[in-house]
Chains A and B, each alone.
Chain A
Amino acid sequence: MNRLRAFLSALVADWRLQALLVLALLLGAPLLSPGTVQIASFVLIAAIFAQSINLLTGLAGQISLGHAGFFGIGAYCTGALVKTHGLDVTLGVPLAVLLAGVAGWLLSFPAKRVRDVYLAMMTLGFGMVFFEVVREWNSVTGGTMGLPGVPSAALRTLSILGVKVDGLAYFQLLLLITAGTMLMVRNLTQSRIGRAFYAIHISEIAAGSIGIPAGATKQLAYALSGALAGLAGALYAHLVGYLGPESFALPRSIEVLVIAIVGGLGSIAGQVLSATLFTFLPERLQVFAEWQFIAYGLILTFSLIILPKGIGGLLFEPPRFIRPRARARAAMLRADAAMLRPADQGAALEAERITMRFGGLVAVDDVSLRLEPGRITALVGPNGSGKSTLVNVITGIYRPSAGRVRFAGRDITGLADHQVAAAGVVRTFQDPRLVPHFTVRENLLLGAHRQLRHSGVAAVLALPGATAEEAQQLALVEAVLALADLTAMADRPIDTLPYGTRRMAEVGRALLARPQVILLDEPAAGLSEPEMERLTQLIRDMKAMGLAILLIDHHMDFLADLVDDVVVLDSGRMIYRGDIAGMRGDAQVIAAYLGDEAAHA
C-alpha cells in the first residue's frame, strides 16, 4: 500500500503530468457532450470551494459550518455588479473575491476568540444570518425571488471583455483558473504561511513561543478562505445565471464540508477526487436520489472513522510542507551553526520583583532574576514552586500582577507571547509541543518563521526570491540538525520518533528562532544518559554563541557541570541565588527541596 501511495503521490506531484492532464482536458472537452462539460464545470467549482475549507479547517484547524455564506457573497456580488450595474466579468469576479475575503477577515474578529464547539456554532450562526439577509435584501439580491439574468455560460449570455463565452469555453477557462488556484494553494501549504497555519492549529501557545501570532495568522486564514470560497461562488454565478437563496443555505455548507472531509483535509488531489465523486454521482445515478440522504448520512457518519484522512489519506502520501525546489537549492548551500550567533553583543534579561497571583493563590512572590549573555542560569525548586509560571510571565503568556521584565533596554512586560519571541526571548516547554505530522526538518523550519521576510504574494507565487530565502533557512536547519545529531531522522514525522529526539528537535526549533535569550523548561526530563550528554553539548554550544540561557530542571548531575549560577524557588519565593556548590550547602534549600539528596551530592 505504501508503495502505491508513494507512486501515486509522485504521479500527482509531477508538473509534467499535471500539465498533460490540463492540456488533455482542454483539448478533449469539445468531444464531450454539453451536459458532461457542464457537470465538469460544476466539479471544478466544487473543487475550488473545497479548497477554502481545506485551508481553513484542514490547515488552520478552524471548523466552519457556514461557508455557504462566503460562497454566496461571491456569487451575489458578481451577480449584482455585472447584471445590475453592468460591470464586466473581469471586474466583477475579482471584486467578488475581494469582498468575500474582507468578509472572512471581518468574521475572524469574533471567530478567533473561540474554538471547537463554540466556533462551530458561531460559523453556523454566520451562515444562517447570511441566509436571512439574502432573503430580505430585495434590492441587491432579489430576495426570495432570486436574481435571474446573470450573464451565464450555460445560457450563452456570457461575454468577457466583449468576447462571447459559451459552455465549452467557460469550462476551459474554469480549468485554467482551477489549475492555477490549486498551484497557489499548494505553494501556500509549502510556505511559511502554510506551516504557520498548521502550527496554530496544533498549539497556539507553542506557535507564539517562536513568534507566530495566533490572532493575526487566524485572520489571514479566514480572509484567504473567504476569498477562495468567494471565487467559487462568483464562478458559479456565471455558470448557472440564476441565483436563488436556497442555493446558499445550510445544505450547501454541509455539502462542501462533506466533500472536503471525504477528500481528506490537507490533500489537494483528494479534494479534487472527492468533488468529482459528489458532483457526478448524484447526477449519473438518478436512482441514487431516493437513497441520497441515507448514503450522505452514512458517509458523513463513518468516513472520519473509517478513513480519517479521507480519500487523500488512502491514496496519497501525507502532504509535505517544504517546497522541493527550496530543498534542492538548500542542498547546494553550506551553513555553519555559528551563523546562529546573535548579531548584537547580546543583552541581559532582567525580571524585577515579579509577582503572579491567580485569584487567591500567589504562584510567584516577588522574584527577581537576571540572565546574562553567555551565562547559563538554573531555576530549581520543588514541584509547584512557580518555576514554569515565572517563565510564562517572562515570555508573555501571563501578565504579572506586579513587577517588570526588561530586555535589551526595553520594557517587555505584558507583551504578547509572540511579540516577546520576536524580541529575541524564546522558550521551550515541559512537554515538547511540536507538530506531530511534520517531519523533524519541517518542525525545525517552523522555528525560522520570523526570519523568512518574503511577502505572502511571493510565497503563493513561489517567486525565486522566496525560494532563495527558504533555501537559506533550510541550510541553517541542516546545520542545527547536525548540531543536535538529528540528521539521520530529519525526514521522519516527529510523532514516530522517541521522546528524546522530540526534545532535541524542540530545542533546535527554538534555536532557529534566533533567540538572544533561551529558556528551557525541563529539557532533560525523560532523556536517557547518552541523550542527556548530547543535550549538554548543545547547551554548551549555545552558551558559546553568546546566548543567555535559563534552565529549569531537577537533575542535579545534569546541572552540576553545566550551569554558572542557580536560583532556587520555594512556594513562589526565591530562597537562594548563587552558585551550585553554595546551594548544596544552604540550609533553607536543603530543608525545602533537596532532602536526602544532599547526602548523595
Chain B
Amino acid sequence: MKISRRTLGLSATALSLPSLVQAQPATIKLGFTAALTGPFNEFGEGINRGAQIAVEECNKAGGINGRMVALAEVLDDQLVPDRAVQNLRRILDNREIVGLMCPSGSGPTLAIADMIQADGRPIINPQAQTPAIVYPNGLDKPPRPNLFSISISNTVESEKLAAALSQYSRVGIVHESTGYGVTGAELVRQELVKRKPGLRVTVESYNQRAQDMTAQLVRVQRANAEAMLVIGLGADFAVIRRNMSRLNMNLALFGAAGAVTMPYIEGAGDLVAGTRAVNHAAFGRRPMHGAAAKFVDLYRAKFGTDRWYGQDAANPLISLAATVGSGYDCINLLIDAIRRAGSTNAAEIVQALDQTRDFEGATIQKISFTPQNHVALKLEDLGTYEMLKRGDRVVLELRD
C-alpha cells in the first residue's frame, strides 16, 4: 500500500506532537518570598504588586512565545530570616519554578543567598541594599553567578550621598543599628573621606523605634557638623527631625532612600521642608521616561491612588520606584531573559541575563548586566531631591 507523503508527513507530525507537548509545561512559573504582611509589608507587598502587574502585562501581550507566565509560589516571611529560609526551601523544592526574586530586606536575603547560589536558578534582587548579597567575597571579586540586582546598592547610594555632602567640611551620619544602617554609614564615610580627605565625619547609631535621639544629636552638634545624614526608616527619621527642632538644631539635613517615605512626612509634618534625599531619579524626572510612565499608569489603573502611589495622580510618590517598581522590573527582566534564551533552563537564563544590554526598566532607564557586574543601578539613576511644601502638600522635587 502506498502511503502518500502527505499522510506520512501528517502522521509524523501527529506522532511528534505529544512529545512536544510533554516536553514543556504550559506555564512558565516564577516564585519569591517577601514580607507580605507584618511591619515591613510596605516593601514586601509592594514588590508583590509590581510582580503581578508585570505578569499581567506580559500575558496580555501573548506571554513568552505563546506560553503564559504565572507567579506560582508567593510566600510570606514577614522579614524574619528563618521563615525566608524555610520558604525558599519550599520554593526550590518545586522544580517547575524557573526564576525567582529576592526577599525584601537585607536580613532575609543574606540568609537565603548561599542557598540560591547553590541551587543555580536565576534570582533578581529588587530592594536589599547590602553589597555582600551580590558580591559575597568583596567588590573586586566576581558576583554570585545567578544573582542579579536592580536595587539601590549601598555602594552607589553612598557615592551619590557623598557627592551631595562633600561640599561641607564637617558631616554627621546618624544611622539605625541594623545591617542596612551600619553598612550604609560606613560606605558613605569611606566615600566622603576619599573625596575630601580633610572632611570630618561623626557617626552615631540609634535603635529603631527609639523615642528620643538627643544623645546622638548632641554628639553631632558637639562635632560642629554642618550637615547631617540619616540612614534609617521614615518613622525614626520623623522622630529625629522633631528632636532636632527641640534642640534648635539647624543644619543641612539629608536622608537616605529608606528615610523619605510617607511615615517621615506624616510624622514630621511641616518640619520636612528643606530635607534633601537621594532616591530613584526615574519618577522624579519630567517627563518620565517611557517605561516609567507606562508602569505608573498601569499601577494607577489597577490599584488607584493608594498608599503606595500617593494622592496626587499626576505625581506618584518617588518611593513607588523602590517599593513597587523594583518588583515590576525584576519580573520583566526574567521574562526578557527567558524570551531571549528561548528556554527555561537555569544556566541558559543566567547566560541571557548576563547579556542584558540597555533593557528599559521602570526604575532604571537602561539596565545592563555583564558576568562581572550584576548591579544595574548606576549613579545617573539616582537623584538628589528636596522636600518642599507646595500648597498643603509635601512634594519631592528633583534637584540633581
- In A111-130, the 8 Å CB interface with B consists of none
Nearest-CB residue, chain A, relative to B80: A246
- A contact residues around B181 at 8 Å (CB): 144
Q: A148 contacts B132, CB within 8 Å?
A: yes
Q: B93 contacts A33, CB within 8 Å?
A: yes
Total number of residue pairs linking A and B with CB closer than 8 Å: 81
> Is A590 in the interface zone, CB < 8 Å from B?
no
Q: B177 contacts A286, CB within 8 Å?
A: no
Q: B76 contacts A240, CB within 8 Å?
A: no
- B contact residues around A148 at 8 Å (CB): 110, 113-114, 132, 136
- A contact residues around B89 at 8 Å (CB): 34-35, 38-39, 154
Residues 276-301 of A, flagged 1 when their CB comes within 8 A of B and 0 if not, give 00000011001001101000000000
Q: A35 contacts B110, CB within 8 Å?
A: no
- In B219-271, the 8 Å CB interface with A consists of none
Q: B118 contacts A156, CB within 8 Å?
A: yes
- In A416-458, the 8 Å CB interface with B consists of none
Q: B83 contacts A145, CB within 8 Å?
A: no
> Is A353 in the interface zone, CB < 8 Å from B?
no
> Is A173 in the interface zone, CB < 8 Å from B?
no
Nearest-CB residue, chain B, relative to A37: B89
> Is A247 in the interface zone, CB < 8 Å from B?
yes
- Take A144-B181, A154-B89 as given contacts and tell me if A290 and B37 are in contact as well, using a CB distance cutoff of 8 Å: yes
Q: A244 contacts B93, CB within 8 Å?
A: no
C-alpha spacing A246/B182, complex, angstroms: 15
Contact with A145, one of B36, B78, B93, B130 (Cβ below 8 angstroms): B130
Contact with A289, one of B38, B82, B92, B182 (Cβ below 8 angstroms): B38
Q: A155 contacts B118, CB within 8 Å?
A: yes
- A contact residues around B37 at 8 Å (CB): 289-290
Chain A CB within 10 A, most for which of B81, B83, B136, B183: B81
C-alpha spacing A283/B89, complex, angstroms: 11
Residues 226-242 of A, flagged 1 when their CB comes within 8 A of B and 0 if not, give 00000000000000111
- B contact residues around A156 at 8 Å (CB): 118
Q: B86 contacts A242, CB within 8 Å?
A: no
Name the interface size band of chain A.
Answer: 20 to 34
Contact with B179, one of A144, A149, A152 (Cβ below 8 angstroms): A144
> Is B90 in the interface zone, CB < 8 Å from A?
yes
> Is B115 in the interface zone, CB < 8 Å from A?
yes
Classify the interface of chain B: helix, strand, loop or mixed. Answer: helix
- A contact residues around B118 at 8 Å (CB): 155-156
Cβ of B368 to closest chain A Cβ, rounded Å? 28
C-alpha spacing A75/B32, complex, angstroms: 28
Cβ of B388 to closest chain A Cβ, rounded Å? 34
- B contact residues around A286 at 8 Å (CB): 75-76
> Is A146 in the interface zone, CB < 8 Å from B?
yes
- In A145-178, the 8 Å CB interface with B consists of 145-146, 148-149, 152, 154-157
- Take A286-B75, A289-B38 as given contacts and tell me if A149 and B83 are in contact as well, using a CB distance cutoff of 8 Å: no
Contact with B93, one of A35, A242, A247 (Cβ below 8 angstroms): A35
C-alpha spacing A487/B118, complex, angstroms: 66
Nearest-CB residue, chain B, relative to A150: B114
- Take A145-B130, A156-B118, A289-B38 as given contacts and tell me if A242 and B182 are in contact as well, using a CB distance cutoff of 8 Å: no
Cβ of A72 to closest chain B Cβ, rounded Å? 13
> Is B351 in the interface zone, CB < 8 Å from A?
no
Q: A289 contacts B78, CB within 8 Å?
A: yes
C-alpha spacing A23/B182, complex, angstroms: 48
- B contact residues around A242 at 8 Å (CB): 81, 110-111, 114
Q: A34 contacts B82, CB within 8 Å?
A: no
> Is B178 in the interface zone, CB < 8 Å from A?
yes
Chain B CB within 10 A, most for which of A143, A145, A240, A241: A145
What are 29 pairs between A and B in contact, CB < 8 Å? A33-B93, A34-B92, A34-B93, A35-B93, A38-B85, A38-B86, A39-B89, A42-B86, A144-B178, A144-B182, A145-B110, A148-B110, A148-B113, A148-B114, A148-B132, A148-B136, A152-B114, A154-B89, A155-B118, A157-B114, A240-B82, A240-B85, A242-B81, A244-B81, A244-B111, A246-B80, A286-B76, A290-B37, A290-B76
Q: Which residues of A contact B (CB under 8 A)?
A: 33-35, 38-39, 42, 135, 143-146, 148-149, 152, 154-157, 240-242, 244, 246-247, 282-283, 286, 289-290, 292
Seed contacts A144-B182, A155-B118; 4 additional CB < 8 Å A-B pairs: A42-B86, A145-B132, A286-B75, A289-B76
Q: Which residues of B contact A (CB under 8 A)?
A: 36-38, 75-76, 78, 80-83, 85-87, 89-90, 92-93, 107, 110-111, 113-115, 118, 130, 132, 136, 177-179, 181-183
